[in-house]
Amino acid sequence: MVPSPEPALAKGPTLFVYGADTPTIVCAVSQVCDMALQPGEKINHIILGDPDHWKVEPAEEGGAGSETLHLIIRPASPDLDTSMIVLTKTRSYHVRLQSHRRDYMLQVAFSYPEAQLAAAPTSMPAVSAAQPDDDGFVKVGDFTYVKGREPKALGSNKAAEPAPPAAVPRPQVSMTPTTP
């Protein structure tokens, strides 16, 4: 007898960087997927692309002042693919949901680079742009950010923004009538 394979994605929490890319959460029939939100977030609305084949139920963990909301996600059958939007008082989560026969993500959570950046010590020494070792990057915890831009973890799979189109010269138009 060949042992059945362990669910490849059910070995522990899967961590996504919020805002880096659209996360795909893989769920299995007869299993639950737990999507944890940032502690203190409150859900305003949950929108499912296919509410007939997916069930999403909010659950709360913790006591007063330290609540963490979880979304318990269950597909009705394998080989489903849909999207979900979760609107909270703080942010919006855009997620892709896929169902599989065996593989699933038991726990899903997010890291928040903007929160880590805000929690970074403010007594960092000032760095001058004229210093030769200034490479234009700031390292906070496990994340590296580009200076002078919105916080965004490097190494994401998002494509770079395209350059704006070049100006097209306008043709010269004469306003004087021509006679043949």
Task: Output the average pLDDT for the chain.
Answer: 76
Q: What is the pLDDT of residues 85-121, one digit of tens each?
A: 999 998 999 999 999 999 999 999 999 987 766 666 6
What percentage of the chain exceeds 90 in pLDDT? 47
The encoded tokens of residue 24 equal: 């795909």
**Closest Cα partner for 6 from 107, 108, 99, 104?**
104
Q: Give the DSSP letter of residue 77.
A: S
Q: Residue 65: what pLDDT?
A: 74
Question: Residue 78 corresponds to which amino acid?
Answer: P
Q: What is the pLDDT of residues 57-87, one digit of tens each?
A: 999 998 777 889 999 999 999 999 999 999 9
Q: Say if pTM beats, i.e. exceeds, 0.85.
A: no
Residue 158 has pLDDT above 50, yes or no: no
Q: Is residue 117 a contact partner of residue 153, using CB atoms and an 8 Å limit?
A: no
**DSSP letter for each residue of 81-131:** EEEEEEEESS-EEEEEEEEESS---SEEEEE-HHHHHHHS-S-PPP--TT-
**What are the CB-based long-range contacts (under 8 Å, 24+) for 1-8?**
4/102, 5/102, 7/31, 7/102, 7/103, 7/104, 7/106, 8/103
Residue 146 has pLDDT above 70, yes or no: no
In the numeric block, the tokens 């200034």 are attached to: 134
Q: Residue 113: what pLDDT?
A: 85
